[in-house]
Amino acid sequence: MRPTNVGRLCEWQYLERSILRMLAGWGRYMPGFYDKSAIHRYVWEQTECVQRLRDRLAQFPGDNVDNPVNVGSIARNAAAMGWDAIFLDPRSADPLARRALRVSMGNALRVPHARVDDPRELLLAMRDRGVRTVACTPSADATPLAELDPGDAPVLAVFGSERDGLGEDLLAACTDRVRIEMAPGVDSLNVAAASAVVCYALRRWSAAETK
């Protein structure tokens, strides 16, 4: 039953299914998608993200992760593993873009994110605040992920694009460099798959806590 008062259009919009599918990529209503305040609530300013990252976990696809499928998968990984925020450099895809939002199964609306003008500056600021900034790289001299113990410090996992990885300036700005150990003959994982492995390995909850 339709409400009699539909004055606040950010909460109620009635669209033909074909138009809804064209705009959003699916033909059904998703709570929160048309509530503009809900979307704005999860797009933070960079300074707000930094201030809120105390004992928390965040991801930073920080170097030109421009494929919306990867960014959507990273948002889904973050939500599933209990991570708290995502930072993106100016060249990375938008988590709220149609394809990214679809791949994330709507979870991009649940994980706050912020754009970062200067990734290196952010990493240095995080390091000064006691955050363990963990650069993910296939380099053979990086610490195996299974051996990393960040303790109780906040963690920011940093990923680069699949083409070029992380630049040397960003690697140098991080407190740790880790690699996911691969079988012989395999160089690395897709960035979204690597994000899932890292999110799981460094999560701050156990299965027992969810029962």
User: What pLDDT does residue 4 have?
Assistant: 45
Indicate the Cα dihedral angle 84, 148, 201, 50, nearest 10°.
10
Instruction: Per residue of the chain (211 residues), give pLDDT as tens.
Output: 444 444 444 444 555 556 555 555 544 444 444 444 445 455 666 666 666 654 456 767 656 788 899 999 999 999 998 888 888 888 888 888 889 989 999 888 888 888 888 889 889 988 888 889 999 999 989 999 999 988 888 889 999 887 778 889 999 999 999 999 999 988 888 899 999 999 899 886 544 444 4
Query: Which strand (E) or helix (H) includes residue 123?
Result: helix 119-128
User: What pLDDT does residue 43 have?
Assistant: 63
User: What pLDDT does residue 74 have?
Assistant: 93
Handedness of CA 95, 99, 101, 105 (dihedral sign): negative
Q: In 32-118, which ranges are continuous DSSP H helix? A: 36-41, 46-52, 68-80, 98-103
